[in-house]
Amino acid sequence: MPTVSQPQTPAALDSPLREHRHRPVERLTDRLETPSLDDRSYRVIKLPNQLEVLLVHDAETDKASAAMDVNVGNFSDPEDFPGHAVEHLLFMGTKKYPVENAYSQYLSSHSGSSNAYTGATSTNYYFEVAAKAAEDASANESSPLYGALDRFAQFFIDPLFLDSTLDRELRAVDSENKKNLQSDQWRLHQLEKSLSNPKHPYCHFSTGNFEVLKTEPEAKGIDVRQKFMEYHEKHYSANRMKLVILGREPLDTLEAWAADLFAGVRNKDLPQNRWEDEVPFGEKDLLTQCFAKPVMDSRELDLSFPFIDEEFLFESQPSRYISHLIGHEGPGSIMSYIKAKGWANGLSAGAYPVCPGTPGIFNCQIRLTEDGLKNYKEIVKVFFQYVSLLKETPPQEWIFEEQKGLADVAFKFKQKTPASRFTSKISAVMQTPLPRQWLLSGHSRLRKFDSAKIIEGLACLRPDNFRMTVVSQKFPGTWESKEKWYGTEYTYGKIPADFITEIKRAAASTSKTRLLELHLPHVNQFIPTKLEVEKKDIKEPAISPKLIRNDDLVRTWYKKDDTFWVPKANLFVNCRNTLPNATAENLLKARLFTDMVRDALEEYSYDAELAGLDYSISSHSMGIEIAVSGYNDKLSVLLEKVLITMRDLEIKPERFEIIKERVLRGLKNWDFQQPYNQVGDFTRWLNTEKGYITEQILAELPHLTAADIQQFYPHLLRQMHVETFVHGNLYKEDALRLSDLIENTLKPRILPQTQWPINRSLVFPPGGNYVYHKTLKDPANVNHCIEYLLFIGDKSNRPLRARALLLDQMTHEPAFDQLRTKEQLGYVVFSGVRTTSTTIGYRFIIQSEKTPQYLEERIDSFLHNYAKILANMTESEFEGHKRSLITKRLEKMKNLDQESGRLWSYIDNEYLDFELTHLDASNIKLLTKTDMTDFFSHYILPASPARSKLAIHLNAQTTKAADVITVVENGVKALGLNKDKKDEEDGEVVPVKTEGNGTTPYIITDVREFKSRLQVSAGPQPVKHISEFEELDSKL
């Protein structure tokens, strides 16, 4: 029974709450089903304007957050007019806070950040911010959360849709769309939508571009701004919104804030958005085949079935039973059979909802080998044979119970996630019809076995109720049509009748005619049974692990979990060896070896993965890394299997060829990803003494055979130094036993310490000015990219490091505001600290249709102008930045994996700097504004003779050399800048030739020669002698 309460604090006189005084806040529930370790308290309330709010009190959190999910998304877009831009425009100024970046500046100065996304039926806005005011904040400064909520609430009460920001934000939407144009994920999804029922909104183009949002409507005389305001007016209503607020404050305080700040959101009593009259795939859209040509070299077979509507089936979730069996990879499964045939590299299956009122879609995706593409029809028949097995066998309660048990354990020991990820996700969940006490556990737990609904779901997987898509660059070889928005080439038509007949025969197969290899899975042996955790009262969790074994062969680090108390553990193993980094061929052979190990373990490890136990094995420049993580109960069983497989691996030529071809495609496809994802590889390569880039590795691949790997890998394992780290719910004896297991299984010889590889980076001299040009290989890509890196120095120099981190904090928001929001250089604009294995620098990455030369000028100009901003910064602003950064550095770890990852990185990078974040914070605290202006003038200012820069220019093929000069000259005109002659007010660009430091750029053409000119850094030096961490048992 909902209870009713009054807000606890008196509302301010000018508060919109006063008019609601007679209508109290309704309390829906404060009893939520929570994980056993959850120390938060919860309350669900409804405000008088029908806005539903989940309040979360977390006394220990260092980040507060809120998220608002509005029940309107791109399915509600009017014809030919994407509403997604509203999400961009809403952030740009409100009546109460008219300055367009007031919100982002406020968040930035309180260790915060924000984002938003638009889905099919919801638009989700969220932020996070420091949970408490800094210790040295003035007495009248309230909680940072209150100030952020006040600004956030105004987006939903009085947004301005400022005319001055409209054009720029629509360009941001356009740039976001261009970023996705060459992405197969976006292209193939839109192709499926474009080929769906035009009467159902599933067919919409959801992102929008400049033509659709601005050029075309204006040509028709439509006032675009008015159109967005109407969209907001029509769809944004308090009763369609779900708000989650998480903070340190007591629930009563959070309730009062919610009631006070959000009371002004108008309730228009709009009905929930539902689409009940049409379906995405009607009769004429079924039994169709689509052959689509991807940008990247990939091969996929995709089967889609209109499915049952599971909106209200959250207790039984029948599709989870079906997808568990169809997506299984163990013995008897579809995947096991088609992999053994050499036809597939992967399979995934599951149902997904389309929107409220519309039944879902069940989908099975199979990643094909070359042979699999030739035999795609056979694979479809295997799929339908397996479905016939499921239909013939009544739903098995033991399989459901196994799934239910694992889901219960996973929920019981669920650890916290970052604050804004939690609020954003739960606000979206609140739009579903889940009982409110199940908001946290809702779709993760299974509550009842519903055999009839499973049978009903299986009945949808019929030969007359599906669509098939085959994705390949080579097959059929000609394509008849082009998709409107992304230009994807495809051929679409009905599935031939003779193939349908074969499918029907497969679907009607019986135990007599079916493939003998297909059967239900066995009982999962990896289900954890020991889930006890011995929890002790700990005054202060230990900062560093202990070194419990240290001899010539093995070093074992260990930390018993003293913070999270989950029945889980993480084990990391680094097998140090100099072979992988000796040549590009060796690096590739080590990679192929680890890929082959994973391939051999796929079927075995699948059960472990289902039961919450994962492993990974990968090669890198310093050797091979193995990691095993999850419930500690059977961790050693999985580790032993991985080690034995590594030791005894037989490289089968037919499997080797399949994996070699997969690696070949992966390396070739690397050139077709977003330029900003490629640029870091070149930066890393030009910062290390020895390293390899993709094209060097690719050149070695054709020469390798199965025999090469068979001969190579024993050398890889024959001599090494083993460093391990065990963290979690295991005792010291367990950790030592795991080390013994590694030693006794692999039996390696000792690699003497004098022969261990040393990590070094290149040192850029003062006044250095280096440029590396690369033309991007994707002819259809329109975006250039730059990484602009300023070298600072040794990353273990604490005062220098503190300055670099503070510079990152101070410039982060202004750089984004100037280079992206105001100048609209591109959707991807990033600035911040970049480290190598031993050095630290400060960099920008921008992906843009403007040339890298032009981008470099704009960055120079920003830095030149920032010197003035820094000089004029008030003491209180400066101290605010320091506080914000210190809060970020001292942010607590949320879960065991996060802490394990951090501690392992300190061991693996050889600095053993376990107190790094605390020492960073104390060094940042000492900094003065003079320290920062001196630092900026020396290392960062474009005019500084001591500054050292490396710029990587990735050039799109679309620009010809002559255009480059024109673009630079016209850059200011092209941006339409300074058209209103009010530069000072709106921060637009004034073309100023930034004064450089007089150095001539050194164009890197011969990389070996370039590296030979530079000095190298010292290797990593441990901050304390290793013996200080030892806790060795005396040998008897």
Lowest average pLDDT, out of 108-117, 559-568, 643-652, 859-868, goes to 108-117
Q: Pick 63 or 982 by higher pLDDT.
A: 63
Q: Is the pLDDT of residue 1035 over 50?
A: no
Give the confidence band of 221 by pLDDT, cuts at 50, 70, 90: confident
Extended strands (E) in 504-606: 546-550, 554-560, 568-576
Distance CA 628, CA 639 (A): 7
Q: Identify the pLDDT of residue 827.
A: 85
Q: Identify the pLDDT of residue 965.
A: 37
Q: Identify the pLDDT of residue 828.
A: 92
Average pLDDT for 454-459: 97
Q: Is the pLDDT of residue 174 over 80?
A: no
Average pLDDT for 104-113: 89
Structure tokens that stand for 913 in this block? 């700097």
Q: What is the pLDDT of residues 306-344, one digit of tens each?
A: 999 999 999 999 999 999 999 999 999 999 999 999 999
Cβ-contact 366, 300 below 8 angstroms: yes
H helices present in 430-583, as ranges: 451-458, 497-507
For 728-745, the DSSP string reads: ES--HHHHHHHHHHHHHH
Q: Is the pLDDT of residue 13 over 80?
A: no
Distance CA 964, CA 833 (A): 29
Lowest average pLDDT, out of 178-182, 430-434, 872-876, 942-946, goes to 178-182
Q: Identify the pLDDT of residue 961.
A: 39
Average pLDDT for 507-531: 95
Average pLDDT, whole number, for the chain? 90
Give the confidence band of 353 by pLDDT, cuts at 50, 70, 90: very high
* CB contact set of 272 (below 8 Å; sequence gap of 6+): 71, 240, 356
Q: Give the whole-number percent of the chain exceeding pLDDT 70.
A: 91
Q: Identify the pLDDT of residue 439.
A: 96
Instruction: Count the neighbouring beta carbons within 10 Å of the beta carbon of residue 272.
Output: 12
Q: Is the pLDDT of residue 136 over 80?
A: no
Average pLDDT for 250-256: 96
For 339-372, the DSSP string reads: HHTT-EEEEEEEEE--BTTB--EEEEEEEE-HHH
Q: Is the pLDDT of residue 972 over 70?
A: no
Q: What backbone phi and psi angles, to 5 degrees, belong to 220?
A: -90, 5
- Among 984, 734, 994, smallest CA distance to 864 is for 994
Q: Is the pLDDT of residue 682 over 70?
A: yes
Q: Identify the pLDDT of residue 727.
A: 98
- 52, 87, 585, 988: the catalytic one is 87
Structure tokens that stand for 319 in this block? 């599709």
Q: Is the pLDDT of residue 984 over 60?
A: no
Q: What is the pLDDT of residues 877-894, one digit of tens each?
A: 999 999 999 999 999 998
Give the confidence band of 124 by pLDDT, cuts at 50, 70, 90: very high
Cβ-contact 190, 486 below 8 angstroms: yes
Q: Identify the pLDDT of residue 87.
A: 66
Q: Let me know if 723 is a catalytic residue.
A: no
Q: Identify the pLDDT of residue 305.
A: 97
Distance CA 913, CA 906 (A): 6
Is beta strand 719-728 parallel, antiparallel or unpaired with respect to 554-560? parallel
* CB contact set of 327 (below 8 Å; sequence gap of 6+): 335, 347, 348, 349, 350, 364
Q: Identify the pLDDT of residue 859.
A: 97
* CB contact set of 252 (below 8 Å; sequence gap of 6+): 8
Q: What is the pLDDT of residues 60-81, one digit of tens each?
A: 899 999 999 999 988 888 776 6
Which whole-number Å values give the CA distances from 379 to 299, 324, 383, 599, in the listed order? 13, 19, 6, 20
Give the confidence band of 180 by pLDDT, cuts at 50, 70, 90: confident
Q: Identify the pLDDT of residue 870.
A: 97
Q: Is the pLDDT of residue 541 over 90?
A: yes
Coil, helix or strand at residue 432: coil
Q: Pick 52 or 163 by higher pLDDT.
A: 52
Give the confidence band of 974 by pLDDT, cuts at 50, 70, 90: very low
- Among 393, 295, 382, 303, smallest CA distance to 348 is for 303
Q: What is the pLDDT of residues 759-769, one digit of tens each?
A: 999 999 999 99
Q: Identify the pLDDT of residue 84.
A: 59
